[in-house]
Structures are given as structure tokens and as C-alpha cells.
């Protein structure tokens, strides 16, 4: 039996083995069933997607980083203010920490979801 399509292309006719045609129909039905299954809303990753959206919308990590920065800035500032005679290097350290805080805060307020 011929496994290839054949027929008269001028007359829009195609000859196909019945078994091949039935296999094609079954494959098409399986694909349609899979599409219906995916469109039905049953998503096994839905909980993970919800958690990712929550972490993104609550901006947990930027807030955590800023919280840690504020904590460290407070202790560094208290340390610097308790020094009897601060050196240039110690002043430079505090200036760098404060400058980094300005950069952190600028990144935090300048990023996020665009409101549509």
C-alpha cells in the first residue's frame, strides 16, 4: 500500500489510506482535548505563580534590603559618633555608607510596576 498522498491536484482530490485518516483524526482529537484541558484553568503551577505575584507586588526583597541597610547605617552612625577623634578613613567609610543609602533609596523608589 502507498504511504504517500496521491491524487489529482488539478481536481482538488487526495487519496489517503483510511487507517492513516483515522490516525490523523485521533491525533487531532487528542490535541483538541489537550487544548481544552489547558484552557479549563487547571494549572498545576497556579500556587507558585500566585506566590511569585505576591512577592513581586509586595516588593519583599527590596524592603528587606532597605531594612537591613537602615539597621547597619544606624549602628555605623552610632559607632562613628562615639569615636573621640575620627580619622579621614573613618569619615570616608561613613560617607560611602550614606551615599550607598541614597542610591538604594533611589533604586527602590524608581523601580516597580508601571501603573497602567
Query: Three-class SS string for the chain?
Result: CCCCCECCHHHCCCECCHHHHHHHHHHHHHHHHHHHHHHCCCCCCHHHHHHHHHHHHHCHHHHHHHHHHHHHHHHHHHHHHHCCCCCHHHHHHHHHHHHHHHHHHHHHHHCCCCCC
Domain co-membership, 66 together with 24: no
Per-residue pLDDT of the chain (116 residues; tens, 9 = 90+): 556 656 666 777 777 788 888 999 999 999 998 888 877 766 778 889 889 888 888 888 888 988 999 999 999 999 999 999 999 999 999 999 999 888 888 888 887 666 55
Q: How many domains does the chain have?
A: 2
Domain co-membership, 68 together with 106: yes
In the numeric block, which cell numbers belong to residue 33? Answer: 482535548
Domain co-membership, 32 together with 71: no
CB atoms within 10 A of CB 108: 15
3 belongs to a structural domain: no
Domain that holds residue 18: 9-39
Residue 115: per-residue pLDDT = 56
Amino acid at each position: 500500500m502507498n504511504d504517500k498522498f496521491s491524487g489529482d491536484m488539478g481536481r482538488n482530490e487526495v487519496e489517503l489510506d483510511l487507517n492513516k485518516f483515522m490516525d490523523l483524526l485521533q491525533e487531532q482529537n487528542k490535541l483538541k482535548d489537550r487544548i481544552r484541558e489547558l484552557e479549563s484553568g487547571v494549572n498545576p503551577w497556579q500556587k507558585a505563580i500566585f506566590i511569585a505575584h505576591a512577592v513581586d507586588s509586595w516588593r519583599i526583597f527590596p524592603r528587606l534590603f532597605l531594612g537591613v541597610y537602615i539597621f547597619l547605617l544606624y549602628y555605623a552612625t552610632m559607632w562613628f559618633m562615639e569615636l573621640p577623634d575620627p580619622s579621614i578613613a573613618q569619615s570616608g567609610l561613613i560617607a560611602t555608607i550614606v551615599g550607598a543609602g541614597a542610591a538604594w533609596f533611589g533604586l527602590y523608589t524608581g523601580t516597580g510596576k508601571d501603573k497602567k
